[in-house]
Amino acid sequence: MANTFDWIEIRTNNMEATMAFYESVFGWKTTRKETVGGLDVWIFDTGGEPRIENLRRGGIWLRPQGEAPGVVVYIHVDNIEATLQRVVEFGGKATSSRIPLGGGDAAFFTDPDGILLGLYEDKPVG
């Protein structure tokens, strides 16, 4: 289907270290290695089923004056605190603690290359 989100790309200068970080923190696996346009591309699989309700969703948020614009990819997790602990353990940096966001909570971190990503945890039902 046209006009839907299709791809997440984590750009890095060190393929091995970056993939080792995401494998260690989230359990992602490299499934294929290719060269496209003379550049290495490693295809990863995050496992599990996608969250269908968010598969075609995105948003544009106005950032406060002085805050850098950019793109943030959120990773759905079961436990924000445990995930942030693993991020730090494997060389990343927690840039925020848990904050309320929509129907759950979010937190932010940077990977060892300084790339900002978000974590999202649903609020418990009940």
**Domain assignment present for 31:** yes
Query: Structural domain of residue 60, as residue ranges?
Result: 15-122
Give 97-114 pLDDT, tens digit per residue.
999 987 889 999 999 999
Token readout for 36 is 């496209």
**Domain assignment present for 2:** no
**Domain assignment present for 104:** yes
Least confident range from 1-5, 18-22, 55-59, 120-124: namely 1-5
How large a percentage of the chain has pLDDT more than 90? 43
Tally the domains of the chain. Answer: 1
**Domain assignment present for 58:** yes
Q: Are 31 and 43 in contact (CB under 8 A)?
A: yes
Q: Report d(CA 86, CA 112) in Å as an integer.
A: 12
Q: Report d(CA 22, CA 35) in Å as an integer.
A: 20
Give 56-87 pLDDT, tens digit per residue.
667 777 777 887 788 889 999 999 999 999 99
**Domain assignment present for 5:** no
**Domain assignment present for 105:** yes
- The backbone torsions φ and ψ at residue 42, rounded to the nearest 5 degrees and listed phi first, read -110, 125
Whether 31 shows a pLDDT value over 80: the answer reads yes
- The backbone torsions φ and ψ at residue 95, rounded to the nearest 5 degrees and listed phi first, read -105, -5
State which of 6-15, 44-53, 74-83 shows the largest mean pLDDT: 74-83
CATH of the domain at 103: 3.10.180.10
How large a percentage of the chain has pLDDT more than 70? 89
**Domain assignment present for 30:** yes
**Domain assignment present for 9:** no
Q: Are 86 and 105 in contact (CB under 8 A)?
A: no
pLDDT of residue 91: 98
β-sheet bridge partners, residue 101: 104
| Closest by CA position to 76, among listed 45, 110, 51, 103 | 51
